[in-house]
Amino acid sequence: MKSQNVIKVKSQFLPNEVATLCFFPDDSYWWVLTTSRIIMFENNNIKFVFLEEINSIEPKEIFANKATKRNSTNLDLSLKNGNDIKLRVERNTWHAVYSILKFVSG
């Protein structure tokens, strides 16, 4: 319940925005996928990306042979403005999160 309260307070959801998926490994890092954005919290900084700003999603650490498909814990988001964001995920779930993000960012 504590994590839900932290997310509600810090996320500043937009009107009619609904949280659909969350990754909360600890109080210093978490993210929430909503109906319109990915809201990320890391080291006391909150940032967000609207889903339509995502240009591509890749498991770069797998392509670079830095992790196996089973042990990968990161997805790399390339944004239309040229910025890149590393999104941590739970081990052995990157493929599911990848598929969801590909679908919702269309």
Strands across the sheet containing 74-79: 54-58, 74-79, 84-88
Expressed as residue numbers, the domain containing 67 is 2-105
Which pair of structure tokens corresponds to residue 62?
A: 């797998």
Domain count, the chain: 1
The CATH code of the domain that includes 61 is: 2.30.29.30
Rounded Cα distance between 37 and 17, Å, is: 9
Q: What is the pTM of this model?
A: 0.89
Residues 41/5, Cβ–Cβ less than 8 Å: no
pLDDT digits (tens, 9 = 90+) for 15-55: 999 999 999 998 889 999 999 999 999 998 999 999 999 99
Which pair of structure tokens corresponds to residue 86?
A: 């590393």
Handedness of CA 85, 91, 95, 96 (dihedral sign): negative
Strand, coil or helix: 73: coil
